[in-house]
């Protein structure tokens, strides 16, 4: 046990030092994975996390990284909770995080795909403008809506001809 209970702000700052295992340029706080940090009346620390995608295999690694961080900072009485609602959304990512993503070579998606009326891919594809993270051109086409991780799609730039990942608006 630590003598003085660390402040909530301090714990948030530890969390923001934990990189996402798949996109290490962002922290789990940048991504909006950590939803809540609080002390209970029994002096137990609760950290609530939410999965980006339901089957995201990185969640186990993230949970284990959080446990290590808390232990390294001398916290022994803590519990991790999974919180599904409100469902994770890319809206929780800050502009700063999106900019770092772009510098890393992953385009943060520009706009939500229209869901109303369930537009099949054929029509919705045209409506989404995604900027190439390398050359900035908007002349890009989708190769596949599914990429190397559930949160990314695969695009190609028609200007510089490079393929690139897009963080899906979700």
| Coil/strand/helix, residue 99 | helix
**Residues numbered 8-47 forming contacts with another protein, rule: CB under 8 A:** none
Please work out the total of residues on this chain that contact another protein, with binding judged by CB under 8 A.
29
Binding to another protein in span 131-160, by CB under 8 A: 143-148, 150, 154
| Closer Cβ to another protein, 59 or 66, answer by number | 59
Q: Which residues contact 91 (CB under 8 A, 6 or more apart)?
A: none
For 76-104, b/e burial (b = at least 16 CB within 10 A) is: eebeeeeeeeeebebebbeeebbebbbee
Distance CA 31, CA 97 (A): 8
Alpha helices in the chain (DSSP H): 8-15, 58-72, 95-103, 121-127
User: Which of 54, 94, 96, 141 is the binder for another protein (CB under 8 A)?
Assistant: 54
Check residue 57 for interaction with another protein (CB under 8 A): yes
- Determine the interface stretch with another protein among 2-10, 70-78, 83-91, 130-138 (rule: CB under 8 A): 83-91
| Residue 48 interacting with another protein (CB under 8 A) | no
60 near 52, Cβ under 8 Å?
no
Rank residues 72 and 117 by Cβ distance to another protein and give the closer one. Answer: 117
Q: Which is nearer to another protein, 24 or 55 (CB)?
A: 55
- Name the 3-class secondary structure at 78: strand
Applying CB under 8 A, which residues contact another protein? Answer: 51, 53-57, 84-88, 113, 115, 118-122, 124, 143-148, 150, 154, 168, 170
């Amino acid at each position: 046990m630590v003598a003085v209970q660390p402040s909530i702000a301090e714990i948030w700052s530890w969390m923001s030092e934990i990189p996402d295992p798949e996109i290490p340029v962002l922290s789990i706080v940048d991504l909006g994975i950590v939803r809540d940090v609080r002390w209970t009346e029994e002096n137990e620390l609760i950290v609530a996390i939410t999965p980006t995608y339901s089957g995201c295999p990185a969640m186990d690694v993230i949970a284990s990284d959080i446990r290590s961080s808390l232990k390294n900072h001398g916290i022994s009485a803590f519990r991790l909770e999974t919180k599904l609602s409100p469902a994770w959304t890319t809206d929780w990512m800050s502009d700063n995080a999106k900019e770092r993503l772009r510098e890393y070579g992953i385009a943060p998606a520009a706009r939500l795909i229209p869901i109303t009326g369930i537009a099949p891919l054929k029509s919705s594809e045209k409506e989404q403008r995604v900027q190439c993270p390398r050359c900035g051109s908007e002349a890009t086409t989708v190769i596949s809506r599914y990429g190397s991780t559930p949160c990314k799609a695969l695009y190609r730039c028609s200007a510089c001809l490079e393929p690139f990942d897009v963080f899906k608006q979700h």
